[in-house]
Amino acid sequence: MRNKQKTLAAITALLLAGCAGADKPTDHFPGYASDRQGQLLRDRDGHCWRNADWRVDHALPDCDPSLAGPPQIAETAPEPEPASESHAFQPLSITLPFASGQYQLDSNALSALENFLAQLPAKKLPQLLFRVEGHADPMGRAEDNRRLSTRRAQTVSDWLRERGANDTAIAPSALGESQADNNCPTSLPRAEKIACLAPYRRVLVTVSWANEK
């Protein structure tokens, strides 16, 4: 008899342990019972089980549509407008060197210009503004240097025009020796002084959209 009681007690303990380990309703949805997988618990008619904490503001559209009201639709932010071509194109510039007293483009300058032009949108070339600044070193008379810088700017402008740039969008200017800092020693021999002043013998070309100032 005692053995039977012990056996029944052991079976009862096992059953209680199994019940304790079974899935218990959890609180994935406030006010409603759900299993450990987050699924709402429903009765045989498909109604959601409410727990003791349920309030009207807990109502879910899937369980209590008359109380929850229509589901809210998240508003989507408007897509940003595509950038205009003028903002997509960044201004570019190139500096072209010249030999002392010369205004013709040598092979190095021509190659640099060809590479520079290859970076520009060919189909939009007529819409681009080219600022062409001619410069000269301070050797010789200021008036002669101004005329030399004018010829240098004109040579580059003509080249751009032949390649398809809009004539009205080419803005040449002659600055002569006005931006040349004569920081080369006066005691230098002529050949060395010419080499020292080489950075000032140049044409600066800057490209931007024609409607940009």
- Residue bearing tokens 């949108």: 121
Q: Identify each DSSP E strand in the chain by its residue range.
A: 92-97, 128-134, 170-174, 202-209
> What is the structure's pLDDT at 24?
47
| Torsion-angle region of 134 (φ positive above 0: left; ψ -120 to 50: alpha; else: beta) | beta
> What is the structure's pLDDT at 83?
47
Q: Please, are residues 148 and 197 in contact by the beta-carbon 8 Å criterion? A: no
Residue 129 three-state SS: strand
The per-residue DSSP string of 45-97 comes to: TSPBPB-TT--GGG--TTT-HHHH-SPPPPPPPPPPPPPPHHHHSPPEEEEEE
What span, in angstroms and rounded, lies between the C-alpha atoms of 200 and 99? 10
What's the pTM?
0.58
First to last CA, the chain: 108
Write the pLDDT tens digit of every residue in 15-26: 444 444 444 445
Write the pLDDT tens digit of every residue in 147-206: 999 999 999 999 999 988 888 899 999 999 998 877 888 889 999 999 999 999 999 999
Q: Please, are residues 139 and 197 in contact by the beta-carbon 8 Å criterion? A: yes
What span, in angstroms and rounded, lies between the C-alpha atoms of 142 and 45? 101
More confident residue, 49 or 48: 48
More confident residue, 105 or 46: 105
Q: Please, are residues 105 and 156 in contact by the beta-carbon 8 Å criterion? A: yes
In this predicted structure, the answer to whether residue 142 has a pLDDT above a threshold of 50 is yes
> What is the structure's pLDDT at 10?
46
